[in-house]
Chains A and B, each alone.
Chain A
Amino acid sequence: MSEIKKFNIVPDIRLLVDIGQANYQVPEAVSELIANSIDARFEDESLEIEVSIRPELVSILDNGKGMSRDILGEALRLAADMNQVTGNTQSRKGMYGLGMKAACSSLGSHWRIVTRPPGDRNEYSVELDLAEWLKKKDRQGWEVEVLTSTYNPQTSLLGARAHGTAIFLTQLRDSETFHTAVIDKLSMAYRPHLLDGDKISVNGNPVLAKSYDLIDNRRWEIDLDVNGHKISGWYGLDTRTHNDGNYGINIYRNGQLVEAWNKDFLRQHLMSSRVVGEIELPFIPANFHKLGFNKSVEEWKIVKKAMTAELKQVVKASGEMAKNKNDPLRQAKAIKGLDIALGLASSITGQSAKTTDPENGIVVKSSNDMELEVSDKEASGLENKQNLNQIFLDGFLYSLNYQFDVLDDPTIPWDFLYDSKTRDLVAVINTDSRLFQTSTDQEFIAILALSESVVGFLIRDLGYTYPRAREMRDNWLFEALESREKAKR
């Protein structure tokens, strides 16, 4: 015997509250509500959105299309298909019909929404108190009441707006919100709209489109065709490197930032950290909270491959700028290299000039691979004696060299590398250190760095005590410098 029994699977009304447990921070929730305002904008009219963030109230007022009574009622339904409800055929930021409810619920437990479409003599409002909502006995009672009242600019919460929507949230979950954090979020999240003339203010402060600090103020266009879909945008090189992670590509979907500082297209590294840019990816679905893309879809993998190839040269240029810190033209050279690689400039090669070998003693070179050079006169017949390029200890000869490079901590003036297999010791002088940057006597710095590296190596790698290591260092340094002076004479 078989039997079918039907069950009503309407969710418990608690879901309207639980949906607010989404991962929204206040700026993100406000941003999500603004996405709805933008979806409801008039194509030919500048949108003005006023956000207010107070300890007891968060409000968002716009002069968009507003909603009729029926649309407002539908908008409160979870997972409502607003395209169908509104008859909208334009691309929208709203995707799942959940954003407004999730954002409101994550901000506060008392909602008041007032809206008015253009030309309507009435305004429509809904008031929801989630605490009262939860007390309802009917756990499947999802009905909300939409109040219709005659619009009066003197008393309406919409004020003098001829049309638009206002959302007021009280009984806030988080009363300590910095409105500057909201401004910061919105300035990047809606950069394309702000540049197009839409206006957003937070507590009376205008939100300005995020600006980039680019080298030479230059941007390289991205215009890729991926399986019939277009990826458009730009990339550039920031004037500074970023330890704070604020580099990579900001990815927008229909003008709304979905992923900030994406690093999927470049290897996360300080040397790549000048690379910044923006792309618009309307064809990849955003995830539930629009805080990232659905990266499991095939299109994303193709985008990743295409963008990685697209950014390869600029990543390289970013790396070039981190190298050769002694070269004041490294930035210009890196940009030039990028232009050449992109076919935007032709190659200009410098002719090599013959370098004159120094006569004697230490020569400080300006390249990355500096070494203390010992004259031939000094080197001959001194194989097992101390000089600035070697130290002879307990029957073994150790090579000594030094180089200039960047250590990512300006408090470290120098450090050393030692390879025990080849007995090769290299002092690395940090060109980002205060000492290097304030000194003009690099020869002296090199000798200091090498001396201290010798001590460090004797203690760490050969196990000497500090007093013994110091004594050995002193003797080596004395003999090496004396040997150099003799050779000069």
Chain B
Amino acid sequence: MSPSDDIQRPDRYSELIDAWGSFEKKTFDNWIIDVSECYFRSGIGIKFASQLLSIQPAELQAALNLASLDEDELALLATLNPPKTTWFTLAASSPDEIRQALDALKSAKEGASPFSVVARAIREIKGPTSMERIASLSSEAFGHAAKKATAFNLLNEKHIKALKGWESRVRTGRTLTPPQISYAEGLLRELAEQGAIVRNSRDGDEAICDEILNAIGVS
């Protein structure tokens, strides 16, 4: 850092404070862009910046995430000024999802949680994620994957044991944890890539192969 940076720093802080405080004076999209630019110019971290602004770190982070959207998408958001509890979700959404979410917010019942309204609206478009689809796989699917891995001499012993473990876990009514789902996705994808689990399987296991391929999103 050069001495001139030091000299400019207080101005950069004030610039950020002014930008955050100008919410009422600007359109939502311009406000988001200004806050983001001032934050990155300030060179300070999220924790210090949120203390400086007397806000929650999540609030600032959500605004910064929104700044990564295209200008058109931000302009769309500016038509409604969505509640801050929806910002993280909107920042991770496509233009179609944003449109659907804003429509849902406009017609939401009084007292409804904006977060839930937006999450549901986006889920309607997105459908279940691959992680959710894997979470909903039957115990038979995991057992079958283990059998195929053994037959095709794919995966190692530890991996096959994991697949069998999930077979029992799901059979007894328990769900997989997110790390287990991630792990399972990798293993199932490997089996698909290596040709053990395929569409139109000739092994008489078409239905179960399709169930697995659908879950991992392979057409």
- Residues of A at the B interface (CB closer than 8 Å) are 267-272, 312, 319, 322-324, 326-329, 348-356, 358-359, 363-369, 371, 397, 399, 401, 403, 405-409, 411-412, 415-419, 421-426, 428, 440-442, 456
Contact = CB atoms under 8 A, between A and B. Distances in A.
- The residue in B61, B175, B177, B189 that gathers the most chain A C-beta atoms within 10 A of its C-beta is B61
A399 B111 CA distance: 9
Given A323-B91, A371-B115, A415-B56, 5 more contacts: A327-B131, A328-B186, A401-B119, A408-B46, A422-B83
B185 interface: yes
A310 to B, nearest CB: 15
29 contacts: A267-B37, A269-B64, A322-B68, A328-B186, A329-B189, A351-B214, A351-B217, A355-B135, A364-B177, A366-B132, A367-B132, A369-B122, A399-B115, A401-B116, A401-B119, A403-B89, A405-B65, A405-B88, A407-B58, A408-B45, A408-B46, A408-B61, A409-B45, A409-B47, A409-B57, A417-B88, A418-B84, A422-B112, A426-B88
A44 to B, nearest CB: 42
Given A350-B217, A412-B47, A417-B59, A424 B64 contact: no
A369 B119 contact: yes
A397 B113 CA distance: 10
Given A371-B116, A424-B114, A350 B130 contact: yes
Interface residues of B, number: 64
Given A367-B129, A369-B89, A401-B115, A416 B68 contact: no
Interface in B30-86: 33, 36-37, 40-41, 45-47, 56-59, 61-62, 64-65, 67-68, 70, 83-85
A409 B57 CA distance: 9
B192 to A, nearest CB: 11
Contacts of A272: 68
Given A329-B130, A355-B128, A368-B92, A412 B57 contact: yes
- The residue in A323, A363, A405, A441 that gathers the most chain B C-beta atoms within 10 A of its C-beta is A405
Contacts of A403: 88-89, 115
B85 A419 contact: yes
B88 A353 contact: no
A353 B214 contact: yes
B162 interface: no
Binding site of A, secondary structure by majority: helix, strand, loop or mixed? loop
Given A371-B116, A399-B115, A328 B185 contact: yes
Interface string B181-219: 110011001000000000000000000000101111111
Contacts of B189: 329
B20 interface: no
Contacts of A327: 129-131, 182
Contacts of B129: 327, 366-367
A353 B185 contact: no
B14 interface: no
Contacts, number: 184
Contact of B36 (A269, A312, A365, A441): A269
A183 B132 CA distance: 50
Contacts of A422: 83, 85, 111-114
Nearest to B135: A366
B198 to A, nearest CB: 15
B83 A419 contact: yes
Interface in B136-159: 136
Given A407-B61, A416-B56, A419-B114, A355 B175 contact: no
B3 interface: no
A417 B87 contact: yes
Given A269-B36, A369-B119, A440 B57 contact: no
Nearest to B181: A366
Nearest to B183: A328
A439 to B, nearest CB: 9
Given A348-B219, A416-B56, A442-B178, A355 B46 contact: no
Contacts of A424: 83, 85, 113-115
A352 B113 contact: no
A371 B83 contact: no
Contact of B56 (A365, A366, A417, A421): A417
B45 A326 contact: no
A352 B62 contact: no
Contacts of B45: 408-409
Contact of A426 (B70, B85, B131): B85
A440 B119 contact: no
Contacts of B83: 419, 421-422, 424
Contact of B113 (A368, A399, A408, A412): A399
Contacts of B116: 371, 399, 401
A473 to B, nearest CB: 17
